[in-house]
Amino acid sequence: MSICAPQVVRDYVRRFGWRRSFIRGTYVATNQLVSLSVFDCLRLGREDINDTLTAIPPGYECRFLKPDEVNRFQGQLEGIAAKNLRRAVASSDDIYVVLDGERIANIGFYAAGPTPVKDDLVIHFVPPARYMYGGYTSDAYRGGRLHALGILNAARELFDRQIPHLVSVCERTNYRASVSVFRMGWKPCGLLYRLGIESCNWIGRTAAAQTLGMNLQWRKHE
């Protein structure tokens, strides 16, 4: 986790205020000395959905991709989004897209089993819940709340398949993401955390996260 440039810091203060900016700065600075990750556990049920964010604008299509469609769209993604797509295909995760014609405007992934987070950790949860990860909106479509549109309409379809709820995590000081997820209706349900100092590492969770059935485990690299 790198220290941000002054202009980025000023923009952050303007949007989120001094208190959150200070907490975020302290979190980033701490990670220059130790490995610290703190995640809010999130839960979304049918009753939580903010219906005002689910209306599909004219010209857009929202749906899960069929397995034989992935090759058609993968050339549109790069970086982390392309990596998540490869991971989703390898794990048979569900892939939900917001399409503008033949262009991916937004994409998100829904796992039925343990899912990597960071380079060395895996999120575990209790099926038949689904774990939402990797939400990505293409640069040309940002600002249109397509992230919420995709997640909430995917959630509705999964709930219709008798999935009881969705779970996810959000890094504690990622305030940009927090504003979005809480607007959608996600509810915070405890914390997961990791602390590493040289060769010593600890992972843990709060009682609320345990009740939700979420925990971290170390990722095994082949």
Q: Three-state SS across 82-95?
A: HHHHHHHHHHCCEE
pTM for the predicted model, two decimal places = 0.87
Range from 19-33, 128-142, 197-211 carrying the lowest mean pLDDT: 19-33
- Measured distance CA(47)–CA(165) in Å, rounded: 10
pLDDT digits (tens, 9 = 90+) for 92-135: 999 999 999 999 999 999 999 999 998 889 999 999 999 999 99
The two tokens of residue 81 are 């989004």
Q: Top-level CATH class of 41-166+206-218?
A: alpha beta
Confidence bin at 35 (pLDDT 50/70/90) = confident
* Local structure of residue 69 (DSSP, 8 states): G
What is the reported pLDDT for 173?
84
Give the chain's end-to-end CA distance (angstroms, integer): 25
Count of other CB atoms within 10 angstroms of residue 49: 20
CA torsion, ordered 86, 175, 142, 65, to nearest 10 deg = 30
DSSP 3-state assignment of 180? helix
Q: Are 194 and 201 in contact (CB under 8 A)?
A: yes
